[in-house]
Copies of this chain bind each other. A is one copy, B any other.
């Protein structure tokens, strides 16, 4: 593992690190914020999964999350959204290939060898971080934005016991039913839709439910709301009687201005679970 940069930030350190990834068969970059408390003792870890077109950097510089993570004594992990580089398959569209890993393990050509973001985020990167930094692997929570909200929800339900709480900003709620999902799941996983189900938060919620606290914020003026389908998640939450807080925020859109507005609430929500 190689240190790309470390900047002091809110009393802690915002680092960027590179490493050779077995899961994706190439070099991966991630951001990690460690609060001051990590100098003394392992701290809880909140994962932030990003959306389409993002790298590890977008949320790290735009979401304003470090202020509140420092206040709560929580570390923040910012993974990339896909494998990258000249040897990695890509597509001209912004929503397929590099920058659009969708947090699945691809089984189809040409994506299969590198696009294994589920394994990377579920397994390899947590091990790397908990072994190399002062974070407590027993206290992890997860959040994300848009495609990253989809990732946060499906990882939380697919890895029961791993996380203490889950939240999302404008998540893709029902990817098997919409254009942000069907295109990518068919490309990465193939035509057999039974393999898609565990990557659909609405279907997972109906099927397996959720045992940890859930918070979702969605802007009412989100330009992508028809692709996100918050109504599908809301219905599944209500039907399954999942304890959850789903908030529709009047006038907010899909941007980081929306995320930064509500990130304080999300980090406070996770802190309650992580310090319970």
Known: A14-B257, A257-B14. A252 touches B64 (CB 8 A): no
Question: Could you tell me the distance in whole angstroms from the C-beta of A75 to the nearest C-beta in chain B?
Answer: 15
Residues on B with beta carbons closer than 8 Å to the beta carbon of A7: 253, 255, 257-258
A256 lies within 8 A of chain B by Cβ? yes
Q: With A8-B258, A10-B261 given, name 5 new contacts (CB 8 A).
A: A7-B255, A8-B219, A8-B261, A62-B62, A67-B67
A246 lies within 8 A of chain B by Cβ? no
A9 lies within 8 A of chain B by Cβ? yes
Name, among A10, A252, A258, A264, the residue most crowded by chain B CB atoms within 10 Å (CB to CB).
A10
Question: Could you tell me the distance in whole angstroms from the C-beta of A179 to the nearest C-beta in chain B?
Answer: 23
21 cross-chain CB contacts under 8 A: A7-B255, A7-B257, A8-B251, A8-B252, A8-B253, A8-B257, A8-B261, A9-B257, A9-B260, A9-B261, A10-B261, A11-B261, A14-B257, A64-B64, A64-B67, A64-B260, A66-B257, A67-B67, A67-B260, A67-B261, A67-B264
A221 lies within 8 A of chain B by Cβ? yes
Name the CB-closest residue of B to A261. Answer: B10
Residues on B with beta carbons closer than 8 Å to the beta carbon of A10: 260-261
Question: Could you tell me the distance in whole angstroms from the C-beta of A17 to the nearest C-beta in chain B?
Answer: 16
Residues on B with beta carbons closer than 8 Å to the beta carbon of A253: 7-8
Residues on B with beta carbons closer than 8 Å to the beta carbon of A66: 257, 260
Report Cα–Cα, A8/B218, bound state, in Å: 13
User: Of B8, B11, B61, B221, which is within 8 A of A256 by CB?
Assistant: B61
Question: Could you tell me the distance in whole angstroms from the C-beta of A257 to the nearest C-beta in chain B?
Answer: 4
The copy count of this chain in the complex is 2
Question: Could you tell me the distance in whole angstroms from the C-beta of A48 to the nearest C-beta in chain B?
Answer: 15
Q: Which residues of A in the span 92-108 have a Cβ within 8 Å of any Cβ on B?
A: none
Report Cα–Cα, A60/B8, bound state, in Å: 20
- When each residue 182-212 of chain A gets 1 if its CB lies under 8 Å from chain B and 0 otherwise, what string results? 0000000000000000000000000000000
- When each residue 238-275 of chain A gets 1 if its CB lies under 8 Å from chain B and 0 otherwise, what string results? 00000000000001110111101100100000000000
Question: Could you tell me the distance in whole angstroms from the C-beta of A253 to the nearest C-beta in chain B?
Answer: 6
Question: Could you tell me the distance in whole angstroms from the C-beta of A10 to the nearest C-beta in chain B?
Answer: 5
Question: Could you tell me the distance in whole angstroms from the C-beta of A134 to the nearest C-beta in chain B?
Answer: 17
Report Cα–Cα, A51/B215, bound state, in Å: 38
Question: Could you tell me the distance in whole angstroms from the C-beta of A263 to the nearest C-beta in chain B?
Answer: 9
- When each residue 64-79 of chain A gets 1 if its CB lies under 8 Å from chain B and 0 otherwise, what string results? 1011000000000000
Name the CB-closest residue of B to A255. Answer: B7
